[in-house]
Chain A
Amino acid sequence: MPRFLTPGRIAALLLALTMPAAEQAAAHPHMWIDARAWLVFDGDGRLAALRQAWRFDEMSSAYSLQGLPRSADGGYAPKALQSMADDWVAALGEPQSHYFTWLRYRGRSLEFGTPAHASVQWDKTAARVTLVFELPLQTPVAPAGAEMQMEVFDPTYFVAYAFDAPGAIELDGAPRACRSDYRPPQPLDPATALRLAAIPADAEIPPGELSALTQKLSHRIGVRCP
């Protein structure tokens, strides 16, 4: 036994090994989603729901469709796709995921009710699946006077979102004077890419207190009605 290998030093090594265990590392994205969002208003000019359509990249689509029963025309049984949609939305509803969607108004977070209208569509030509779901607000709120902010991102950065398509963000049934505004995430610099990997996946991110770090990552949609 070498002299420098004292019990204290062994303990220090073990501690050094244990420390990073508290951190989650999800590394690089493995899934790319082309997203669209509709901000759905009710008759009183209040934001009532957020509807989203997430179109998965081909590889993720193929992986998620693997083993599903196919119908005679080469498509997938509607029942199988529906159960996939229900599973996904249920898993997205776990507190650590929070549907990868947050909504803030006047410094406080607005909570969602039970998600509705979940479905999965299969585009055979493009070989891609799209998950559509709607998050109703527990209490509809009119974005008057101040900007309401919707944010979409995956804190573990397993999924990389893009709202690149023309008309990817739409106001649905909003009063005429309402305006939306989209701010893409800042281009990911290497240091941020690595630090993101350290965000604990089980942490509930307080929507009102998003760190400077995750703000870099999130897609922000602002909406305002004068």
Chain B
Amino acid sequence: MSARCGPGAPSWRRQASKCAWLAVMLLTTGAALAQGHPFGQPEASMGWQPGGWLGSLLGQVSIWQSHFYRQLTGAVRAWQQDGHAAWTLIGLSFAYGVFHAVGPGHGKAVISAYVLANRQTVRNGAVLALLSAMMQGLVAIVLVGIAAWVLNLTGAAMNRATLWLEIGSYALVTLLGMWLAWTKVVRPLRSARDTAVAPDRHGAHGHGAAQQPDSPPHGHRHGLLDGHPHGPGCGCGHAHVAPPALAEGRLDLAKAASAVMSVGLRPCSGALIVLVFALSQGFFAAGAAAAMAMGLGTGVTVASLTCLALAARHAAGRLSGNALRAARIHRGLEGLAALAVLALGILLLGGAWTTAGLWPLGGG
């Protein structure tokens, strides 16, 4: 298996370390305290502050995003006139979603960290990313469908609903982080204290055999169903598979649901606004299509980023040279990722909570 994993040339190592840095940047996403905006539109309360070339790339992305966003109104109208123009709206929304995902947002940080902490496969990571982004689109449709279409509530009321969804979402991130920290940091620490030889005990997940430190040279074996490593949307372009996480590499939806919900519960502002606009034009279906296309665009991008994070984790383990150290590094990264999810959850929750008291049109 290892022969297919990459030539091991120095250039490959450089690539791998770049990948690792990217993953670290993904994980050091910071939360920000949002003040409600005077015009009281829904606005996510966190963002991402990298510098250097990555900073200017993201700045450019933000300009492109605005560019696509501004064409959405025209595209909704065009579709209203001519059914064939539906693809214009769907394409624009998809592009908006792609650029939206590259910009600020907590989704990719949570998913990447969850996948890292939980030894998910590349495929599972991609599926999780897609599911959570599609969930975001669906939540936006349901929220606007019920609040605006059925109940005819005001924008201010929807902002409040969004804020509560946001708080729920961040509370879930915090819970997820607590659970991960418990299983990845606290319990291993305790079992290491209890037993001199610390076998890889992961309790709830039962990763067991796949991570025996003595299996050369990666410290893991590939499960049968993991023969094809790349999931949909996985664009890392390098041929390695992350260690199979769950037995048979199957996604345990019950466990992953918390990660999906924690990301998907907070609808993106762009989707909400385009849905309300479509509704005002008497063409809710166009808004729904746009929201789902945005979700798909976001999902594909986050899936690629998640894949990068996994590749980086693998590279970090591989660079260490020997299997025992690789296993340790893997476990260390898991612990760090678990703590990152917890810290992110607490920060986001704190920020959203403060916002709740300061929402400018809260009384309206």
Contact = CB atoms under 8 A, between A and B. Distances in A.
Interface string B208-247: 0000000000000000000000000000000000000000
A190 B31 CA distance: 22
A167 interface: no
A214 interface: no
B274 interface: yes
Contact of A158 (B37, B277, B339, B361): B37
B60 interface: yes
Given A32-B70, A66-B148, A193-B62, A91 B39 contact: yes
A49 B108 CA distance: 47
Q: Could you say which of B35, B59, B65, B273 has the most chain A C-beta atoms within 10 Å of its C-beta? A: B59
B55 interface: yes
A39 B57 CA distance: 39
A64 B351 contact: no
B318 interface: no
B30 interface: yes
Interface in B92-111: 103-104
A73 interface: no
Main secondary structure of the interface of B (DSSP, over half): helix
B155 interface: yes
A96 B281 CA distance: 34
Interface stretch (A169-177, A194-202, A218-226): A194-202
A198 B104 CA distance: 11
A139 to B, nearest CB: 25
26 contacts: A4-B332, A10-B339, A17-B28, A20-B49, A24-B32, A24-B35, A26-B34, A26-B37, A28-B65, A31-B39, A58-B73, A59-B72, A60-B273, A63-B273, A64-B155, A65-B280, A67-B157, A87-B40, A91-B36, A91-B38, A91-B39, A159-B37, A192-B59, A195-B59, A201-B35, A202-B33
A29 B154 contact: no
Nearest to A90: B360
Given A94-B360, A198-B49, A29 B336 contact: no
Contacts of B270: 30
A59 B274 contact: yes
B310 interface: no
Contacts of B251: none
A5 B332 contact: yes
B329 interface: yes
A20 B28 contact: yes
Interface of B: 28-41, 43, 46-49, 55-60, 62-63, 65-66, 69-70, 72-73, 103-104, 148, 152-155, 157-158, 185, 188-189, 192, 198, 269-270, 272-274, 276-277, 279-281, 328-329, 331-332, 335-336, 339-340, 343-344, 347, 351, 360-361, 364
A97 interface: yes
Given A1-B192, A2-B331, A31-B39, A190 B57 contact: yes
A213 B335 CA distance: 39
B73 A88 contact: no
Contacts of A88: 38-39
A27 B47 contact: yes
A209 interface: no
A191 interface: yes
Contacts of B351: 21
Nearest to B149: A66
Contacts of B189: 1
A85 to B, nearest CB: 12
A91 to B, nearest CB: 4
Interface of A: 1-5, 10, 13-14, 16-21, 23-32, 57-60, 62-68, 83, 87-88, 91-92, 94, 96-97, 100, 127, 156, 158-160, 188-195, 197-198, 201-202
Nearest to B361: A87
A24 to B, nearest CB: 5
Given A63-B155, A194-B62, A197-B49, A17 B43 contact: no
A191 B347 contact: no
Q: Could you say which of B32, B66, B104, B198 has the most chain A C-beta atoms within 10 Å of its C-beta? A: B32
Contacts of A58: 73, 277
B274 to A, nearest CB: 7
A92 B280 contact: no
Contacts of A23: 30, 32, 47, 49
A198 to B, nearest CB: 6
Contacts of A1: 185, 188-189, 192, 198, 331, 335
Contact of A5 (B38, B154, B336): B336
A132 to B, nearest CB: 15
A194 B58 contact: yes
Closest A-B pairs by Cβ, 3 of them: A25-B47, A20-B30, A190-B59
A194 B188 contact: no
B154 A68 contact: yes
Nearest to B269: A30
Contact of A21 (B273, B335, B347): B347
